[in-house]
Amino acid sequence: MEKLIINRKTWLHGDSKNSLLLRDDNKMCCLGFYAIFKGYTEDEILGFAEPAQLDDCGDKFSSLVTFSDYDNNYHPNGICYQLMHINDNSNITDKEREIRLISEFKEIDIELEFVGEY
């Protein structure tokens, strides 16, 4: 199992209105950290809302995106939507969010670790 580390200081969470993989203020959601982990650069993810919008997402995010023959595009799958919902949900505590994200990332064989202070 691979290990993904999320730095609480730069983690963008609990903000569904302004959530992006990476924002101009250098805050990133859990999937932004995952995108960097998967080999994307900050420039490649800046301003995008979800992994399905990135180049080569089918290869790098195969466990989070699904290809649609209907429109010949990739779209987030169920677990991706779940991760986005947990990350952006403003109605749960940070502790609960971390516990739930750790559990969901395990479903795609990623060990999640949170470091640093908020």
- Judged against a pLDDT cut of 90, whether residue 15 lies above it is answered with no
pLDDT in tens, 36-92: 999 999 999 999 999 999 999 999 999 999 999 999 999 999 999 999 999 999 999
Q: What's residue 17's pLDDT?
A: 83
Enclosing domain of residue 48: 2-115
pTM, entire model:
0.95
DSSP class per residue in 26-89? S-B-HHHHHHHHTT--HHHHBT-SSGGGSTTHHHHTTTTEEEETTTTEEEE-HHHHHHHHHHH-
Q: What's residue 18's pLDDT?
A: 87
Number of separate domains in the chain: 1
